[in-house]
Amino acid sequence: MQKRRQRDPLPLACALCVFVLLQACTNLQVPAVPDSAATAIAAAPTLAAGAQTSIVGAQTAVAVAQTALPGAQATVQAGATLASGVLASPQLISQALGLLLAGANVSLETVPPDASGDAVQQVTVSAVDNSGAFGRLDAATRRQSANGALLAAAQAFPKATISLTIKDSAGTQLLSASKAPGADPVIPQ
């Protein structure tokens, strides 16, 4: 009997931290343009110091990412391999997708109905955001969550065309997206 080796979650955590740091570095606000030349000259050292701090932070983040990325990739690949075997039941897949979609209640319909894995040709994922958590996310985070959900569903059903619809508790559509087999997810702006 073979024992499964537990992977250390540290590389994945480091990669996530680097991602957040890079997001923070790219979202820096540039101060408004000063009204007079004297004000501009006085503000120049402050602007330069802020830029230098951002550059140093970005360089550190890149160095950490280069170190952590191979371990994170290996962890994600191992997790995807494990997930494809574990997530064979539609109930487990629905629960996993619900977590990716901020706790929305998820239901799956597959064609053919009793098929699994490679035999599934089409998957319809319907999610209802009863708690309002998904609806409170900004548009970019909604798209990222939908992207993750579509990619996770594609791990379980690699040959299926997947459609995803998320509605709020009143029935208003919050997001609609899809993914064809072997293609990237399509998530309208």
Question: How do residues 129-162 score in pLDDT, each as one tens digit?
Answer: 999 999 999 999 999 999 999 999 999 999 999 9
Query: Token pair for residue 74?
Result: 């290996």
Neighbour tally for 11: CB within 10 Å: 19
Segment 61-106, tens digit of pLDDT: 555 555 555 555 555 555 555 555 555 678 889 999 999 999 999 9
Place of tokens 């998957």: 123
Q: What is the distance between the alpha carbons of residues 101 and 186, in angstroms, rounded to a whole number?
A: 16
* Residue spans per domain, the chain: 10-85, 88-179
Q: What is the distance between the alpha carbons of residues 152 and 144, in angstroms, rounded to a whole number?
A: 12
Q: What is the distance between the alpha carbons of residues 119 and 111, in angstroms, rounded to a whole number?
A: 9
Q: What is the distance between the alpha carbons of residues 160 and 95, in angstroms, rounded to a whole number?
A: 19
Class of the CATH domain delimited by 88-179: alpha beta
Place of tokens 């371990």: 71
* Phi and psi, residue 78, nearest 5°: -65, -40
Segment 22-70, tens digit of pLDDT: 454 444 444 444 455 445 455 555 555 555 555 555 555 555 555 555 5
Question: Per DSSP, what are the bridge partners of residue 38?
Answer: none
Residue pair 104/142 in contact (Cβ under 8 Å)? The answer is: no
Q: What is the distance between the alpha carbons of residues 4 and 8, in angstroms, rounded to a whole number?
A: 13
Neighbour tally for 137: CB within 10 Å: 17
Helix ranges restricted to H, the chain = 10-26, 37-86, 90-100, 139-156
